[in-house]
Chains A and B, each alone.
Chain A
């Protein structure tokens, strides 16, 4: 069964850093674009970042530009989100998700990993 499994979520103080991972299985990881999408407690979905197949093209929501970095390791079927200078408003469940194709839809989602930024 195709799946995405996130890990790395934790409780961290404001200003701290965290690296999220997402491991893919049962499909050709390198063929797909991926995104990180987050959901603050009790709130809606917010797209965070995109990465294309080769990892050379990325995009970010304005609120995380300069603080978060999306990357991938196609040899290890893994997606990452390096989060620096964390703020309270970054508290959320972070999902990795796979696009069916360019400019299409998010057809496969992980179960999510919780990041809490608090003193």
Chain B
């Protein structure tokens, strides 16, 4: 079965910081890797699709990279509204898998 492992599981950072979250797949997913942001009590929101493509309306401080098994989500300069939980998700396999999430808190 496919597994996606995110690291770190939680992270404390300050406004203006550069932050990187990684997602490692147990087998290759090519570029079929997406990133979502979720705030408490809200539905997830698509940020990055196909590993590196920015969803329409998402600020350019968000970027994604990687292929195969190793992927990263980078926020270049944290803003107050970015404190949330981030999930990766693969759409390569028939059964869809999400990472366990990375909670980003204010330091």
Contacts and interface: CB of A to CB of B under 8 A. Distances in A.
Given A105-B34, A105-B91, A46 B46 contact: no
A35 interface: yes
A109 B95 contact: no
Contacts of B91: 99, 103-105
A109 B44 contact: yes
A95 interface: yes
A104 B34 CA distance: 8
Interface stretch (B13-21, B65-73, B74-82, B97-105): B97-105
A88 interface: no
A109 B43 contact: yes
A45 B87 contact: yes
Given A59-B94, A106-B89, A107-B55, A44 B46 contact: no
User: How large, as a class, is the contact surface on chain B?
Assistant: 20 to 34
A13 interface: no
Given A44-B87, A45-B87, A111-B43, A106 B34 contact: yes
Contacts of B94: 59
Nearest to A111: B43
A112 B96 contact: no
Contacts of B96: 35, 47, 50
Contacts of A109: 43-45
A37 B46 CA distance: 14
Contacts of B44: 37, 45, 95, 106, 109
B43 A61 contact: no
Given A59-B94, A59-B95, A100-B49, A45 B89 contact: yes
Interface of A: 35, 37, 44-47, 50, 59, 61-62, 95, 99-100, 103-107, 109-112
4 nearest CB pairs, A to B: A47-B96, A109-B43, A105-B49, A45-B98
Interface of B: 32, 34, 36, 38, 42-46, 49-50, 55, 87, 89, 91-92, 94-101
30 contacts: A35-B96, A37-B44, A37-B98, A44-B87, A44-B99, A44-B100, A44-B101, A45-B36, A45-B87, A45-B89, A45-B98, A47-B95, A47-B97, A47-B98, A50-B96, A59-B94, A62-B95, A95-B44, A103-B32, A103-B91, A105-B34, A105-B49, A105-B50, A105-B89, A105-B91, A106-B44, A106-B89, A107-B46, A107-B55, A109-B43
